[in-house]
Amino acid sequence: MKNYIFDFDGTLGDSKKCSVLATQAAYQALDLVVPSDDQIAHYMGIPIEISFMEMASEPLDATTFETLLTTFRSYYKQFEQGSLTLFPEVVNVLQTLYTSGKPLFVVSSKSTHVLLRNLQALNIAHFFTAITGADDVSHYKPHPEGILQLVERFNLTKAETIMIGDATFDIQMAHAAGVASCGVSWGSHGAEKLAAEKPTHLIASMKELLTIA
């Protein structure tokens, strides 16, 4: 492969603990029914603008919903300093691909400024040619817009492009965009759920990515 597009949460960065803590704290602060760890993990691949409505056990009016999102973002920034880490082998694999001249990208359901903040905090931002956050697209994952924007902007050949992610939404997005897909089993959805989406590749460690032709 020539072009590598990565998801962030659950693929490069281990943000599950941070997301769970911030989500539960936000719901609790607004006296809402607090989602379980498993609920939160399942929805980590899509933007909070969608997932927070899905996880709410009662209808939320617009004001309450906006307050919930704002409260979550505040808690997330607070918790990420002590709980956001990289998965094993991520730096070495990114360094190897980068050194060999492969264009690397990120398409995330995070807002762009938070994504960049996370990449910089983990010292991997310099590896990427471009990043795409939820605020850069009109249609969220699993819609292919995030990938197609990069294909058009950088004149990428689809046959030489692969999307790497831990969630079924990432595999569905890759299929819809007409590029190869690689599921990673260490994130939120696991190998069984990912396999059901028929990814082009399914790996159990980041270093396996280097063996994909």
The string of DSSP letters for 100-168 reads: TT--EEEE-SS-HHHHHHHHHHTT-GGG-SEEE-GGG-SS-TTSTHHHHHHHHHTT--GGGEEEEESSH
Tokens coding 123: 């010292």
Q: Which residue has the tokens 């460690």?
A: 205
Domains of the chain plus CATH, in order, are 3-14+85-211 (3.40.50.1000), 16-83 (1.10.150)
The rounded distance, in Å, linking the Cα atoms of 213 and 136 is 30
Q: Which residue has the tokens 């359901």?
A: 109
Full pLDDT tens readout for the chain, 213 residues = 999 999 999 999 999 999 999 999 999 999 999 999 999 988 888 899 999 999 999 999 999 999 999 999 999 999 998 889 999 999 999 999 999 999 999 999 999 999 999 999 999 999 999 999 999 999 999 999 999 999 999 999 999 999 999 999 999 999 999 999 999 999 989 999 999 999 999 999 999 999 997
* Predicted structure pTM score: 0.93
Closest C-alpha among 119, 10, 111 to residue 69: 111
